[in-house]
Structure 1
């Protein structure tokens, strides 16, 4: 096991030790070292003289920074982390330096630890007044808003210059957390020359630009001037400044309240009152002020007035909640009435996407069919068994059927007819899953992610209807293959192959019982898909607080949804089975669906229409459970690439490596000192250009 290395021989103060935080640092495992080694050598440069590998500043940034994090935080700014890792100040980071930095990122409060090392310039484990002042000033551009180091706030933390008060690590973290608030107060006083309690819009924009540019999307930054519209008057008060700052400071809490409130709303949209009510229920000791709520909704309406858009969905809040937010360009469009509609991509892209997910649906369907095929065979034989009027019952119940199949035909008898089933089940399940997805996608409100129940039923029903073109030929062949073992025992009939059955039936014969198949599959899918979606959302709370369902929860939701769908459609399945199987001598024949219904009820009673119902439930529930869970996981892990994908995703973002996340967070702590940290030439807002 590799022992943790200090960042440098003279810059590892005792105040940084993990026990001071009450948390034990994690040990470094050999697998982590191997991972670091691969990363190091992937980006390292080899010295042409000594042959030693090292990282330059650009190499180091590539190795530690999140790969797609350069929209609001520049690549150049990550260079300040390079200075921390370069322990020997040689302008390069060798393997030992890189290991030490990676181990530093594993420490408790690593983000603050790195910031502390930046300010602790002499490495003695404490920050003096002069160290804080000189480091703070070195991070700021020449045009930065002045900061008064003789202010009462600074003296509370550091005393006066040349005083005896110093900051240890824990005290330093509190100073950094409160620094932005003090900068806001001082900046407001700097621009409030008249001492009338107001500044103009351009001055407010400059303050926020300098304090929190990296935390806000371009859409919000461009709209900063409009904050004066929250409280009409033209100028901006300190109350509005601090309210806007509080919204930024509590952005994670704002997002939590918005997500939960939208999830609980019937239409996925909320008003300011809905937001306040949910915040009051979830926050113990405080809530958002009316001005803060007004600011949240004002900057989320994206140029639309309160009257035109009184209720907002999660997507509307995206511009405020996500600093990388960008308006969707290829998937949605806004009509004159303000309604969001989905815009199709190129025809080639849509065809490719449909074909791709059709293939995934086929794989998932094959897995589900194989898993439950023995149950399906038992169900078929039970449904085709006629009344005692015809002769002695071959099977007493489903369990007796299982025993006799195993005794007479062996284990392979349970899989009789499986090959043609697998050949046909791929397009059958694929078309059902794909059509349901396409209709739901079309009917889903892009702004809220919600779909009306009527559209859910239509999507499921249409999916079930479309699959019959594959289902009916598949099932009539499967049923006749499944019945051959029984027929051979009773009458000594010769076995036929699937090809022989298809040839004997002909094209029209393959669609015998299609009406009954439609009567079964349309209501089955109309019940199943909406039930599955609502079980995931309303019972297992998928998406609430960012929750992703476990395999067990997803499988349970799929299996439970299949129970009522399977049992309620059993009469249609019984009629279909009777129409598609060959009647033996002495058994009734049927002219069609209605005739079959009348004869079965008259000869065997109404209960005969539910023969094999339990076996059908036992087969359909797990089959669709396996199929749906497999399909969704295949889509999740092997998604079809979408061009110009919006930055606000409806699925959970890809989890980043914790080391890269903590490196970014360490830089964000320093960005709270100044948004231009690490910039060799600091950008300035448009108001100063």
Structure 2
């Protein structure tokens, strides 16, 4: 079996660039999702957009954007490099990677990106968004906000919610890979046996995988957002206490707030990230061929 293996440097550059572009293009959906997950009065996506634009203009929908752009660039770079390396380490003696091992590689990549990129950037982004809705915001942007958080809370301040982030990223990878591979094998085995799938069908399968991923992992995303909010230290002892309070005080369905904007972002992000990633890999010289 022949593996197409990206050079580590190429994978890192392509992944980081794709992640940064995707984060900027889809950020308004991330902003709306995050705002809807905070405690207090429940607001719908349209109401959040209307209120934000009225008070802060269109740029208000990009509060905390640079934190996510930087973090998403790092996340995508770490994800592609980690997945590629885990996948090849888990290959058997014949160079084949089974579906369970591929899922394990995805889980490992998700954990790596949660530790090294996602948690710090998500925490800073969440705090900036939470701060922006206050009458007198205290943070003047990414650099000032990050410095202020570290000064007030230490390094642990930007690692709030590490556990739910690791669980979310790991679950995202596992659910997405399982759904995608199952649907892909089904289509190839019935409608198009032995033939490569057209881009439209691949995009459709990816979109369905994204939909399943969003609905199954949404509770972890809500807990993550609450644990990274400005009031988290005063309200929640840990992630389990946070989940308990949400369930007992706000009801089960509160765990799925922000589903629509997250779904919109995840469906779009798949197409954007992989399209840009593949183009950059081609520009940088393509892939190495490894005969396994």
TM-score bracket, shorter-length normalisation: 0.7 to 0.9
Structure with greater proportional helix content: 2
For residues 524 and 641 of structure 1, the distance between their equivalents in structure 2, rounded to whole angstroms, comes to 27
Q: Counterpart of 2:208? A: 560
* Cα-to-partner distance string for 1:492-534 (whole Å, 9 max, x where unaligned): 3444322222223221211111011111111111111333344
Greater relative contact order structure (CA < 8 Å, 6+ sep):
2
Q: Counterpart of 2:146? A: 502
Name the stretch that deviates more: 372-381 or 425-434: 425-434
**Selected match of 1:439 from 86, 105, 118:** 86
> Where does 1:40-439 land on structure 2 (aligned, <5 Å)?
353-386=7-40, 393=41, 395=43, 397-439=44-86
- Note if contact 1:558-1:628 (Cα within 8 Å) is conserved in structure 2: no
Once the two structures are TM-superposed, the CA of residue 566 in structure 1 deviates from its matched residue by: 1.9
Once the two structures are TM-superposed, the CA of residue 536 in structure 1 deviates from its matched residue by: 3.8
Distance 1:590 1:496, change over 3 A: farther
How much is the aligned-residue C-alpha RMSD, in angstroms? 3.0
Name the stretch that deviates more: 601-610 or 352-361: 352-361
Count of aligned residue pairs for this structure pair:
285
Residue ranges of structure 2 left out of the alignment (5+ in a row): none
SS state at 2:179 partner: helix
- Note if contact 2:218-2:256 (Cα within 8 Å) is conserved in structure 1: yes
**Selected match of 2:164 from 511, 516, 530:** 516
Q: Structure 1 residue 529 and structure 2 residue 183: aligned?
A: no
Distance 1:410 1:464, change over 3 A: same
Once the two structures are TM-superposed, the CA of residue 636 in structure 1 deviates from its matched residue by: 5.0
Distance 1:534 1:366, change over 3 A: farther
Distance 1:394 1:610, change over 3 A: closer
Q: Counterpart of 1:583? A: 231
SS state at 1:451 partner: coil
Once the two structures are TM-superposed, the CA of residue 359 in structure 1 deviates from its matched residue by: 1.2
Q: Counterpart of 1:483? A: 130
Distance 1:556 1:639, change over 3 A: farther
For residues 546 and 446 of structure 1, the distance between their equivalents in structure 2, rounded to whole angstroms, comes to 27
For residues 497 and 418 of structure 1, the distance between their equivalents in structure 2, rounded to whole angstroms, comes to 9
* Cα-to-partner distance string for 1:215-270 (whole Å, 9 max, x where unaligned): xxxxxxxxxxxxxxxxxxxxxxxxxxxxxxxxxxxxxxxxxxxxxxxxxxxxxxxx
Q: Structure 1 residue 600 and structure 2 residue 263: aligned?
A: no
For residues 445 and 530 of structure 1, the distance between their equivalents in structure 2, rounded to whole angstroms, comes to 20
Distance 1:405 1:613, change over 3 A: same
Once the two structures are TM-superposed, the CA of residue 394 in structure 1 deviates from its matched residue by: 6.3
Normalising by the residue count of structure 1, what TM-score does the alignment of the two structures yield? Answer: 0.38
- Note if contact 1:555-1:626 (Cα within 8 Å) is conserved in structure 2: no
- Note if contact 2:16-2:76 (Cα within 8 Å) is conserved in structure 1: yes
Q: Counterpart of 2:101? A: 455
Normalising by the residue count of structure 2, what TM-score does the alignment of the two structures yield? Answer: 0.85
* Cα-to-partner distance string for 1:581-625 (whole Å, 9 max, x where unaligned): 1129xx961111111111111211122122212322222232233
For residues 186 and 281 of structure 2, the distance between their equivalents in structure 1, rounded to whole angstroms, comes to 22
